[in-house]
Amino acid sequence: MFPGGTTVKTHLTLTALALTSVSFAAQAAPAATSPIKLSGATYSVAQVTENGKTTERLVDASGKGALPGSLLQMTQKVQNVSARSVNGLRLNMRVDPATIYQSATCDAAKTNTLFSIDSGKTFSANPTKTVTVTENGKATQRTVPASPSEYTNVRWELPSLAASQTVNCNLRVRVK
């Protein structure tokens, strides 16, 4: 919780576009066990100097407060708990309005990282917005790149997750 009662919440969704070699839809069981296990953690990123060398240290911040200016890392661990590959996964994470996007990484090979500026309605590698500018006394609309500070959501598209594979996708934000 932040001063004034503000909290940062991690919002995560996962969509499986295609499950190769396994057809869960064809199973007669009322509730199929998901081949994907998700877990999340929130860390405060601290700069630590040891032996004259500055490094980063991640400190568990789950359920703890963060001050304005603090750098947080939200980590989502995605595990394929099945014996088969899972293809076409989409991992979505919301950028909390009390924070500003800083960076996004994912350690899965060939991951496509996309961003949204409209609360997750549309995604693009390089989101754009339309602005009105005045040129020669006339109002003209221009399409310009959105600033990363305007990102509201991040999506990682993981082409394939091998059997028993685990990957981590990280979103770093700064508290307003």
pLDDT, tens only, 110-122 = 999 999 999 999 9
Count of structural domains, the chain: 1
Residue 4 lies in a domain: no
Q: What is the CATH number of the domain that holds 113?
A: 2.60.40.1170
Residue 109 lies in a domain: yes
| Confidence category of residue 65, pLDDT binned at 50, 70, 90 | confident
Residue 140 lies in a domain: yes
Note down the domain range covering 116. Answer: 12-25+33-175
Instruction: Compute the half-sphere exposure of residue 126: CA atoms within 13 Å on the CB side of its CA.
Output: 3
Phi, psi for residue 20 in degrees, rounded to 5: -80, 150
Q: Is the pLDDT of residue 1 over 80?
A: no
Residue 162 lies in a domain: yes
Q: Is the pLDDT of residue 18 over 50?
A: no
Phi, psi for residue 25 in degrees, rounded to 5: -65, -25
Residue 93 lies in a domain: yes
Dist. CA 38–CA 10, nearest whole Å: 13
- Which of 1-10, 49-58, 160-169 is the least confident region? 1-10
Residue 74 lies in a domain: yes
Tell me how far apart the 2 most distant CA atoms of the chain are, in Å. Answer: 67
C-alpha torsion sign, points 117, 120, 125, 130: negative
pTM (whole model) above 0.85: no
3-state secondary structure of 62: coil
Residue 155 lies in a domain: yes
Residue 38 lies in a domain: yes
- Bridge partners for 176 per DSSP: none
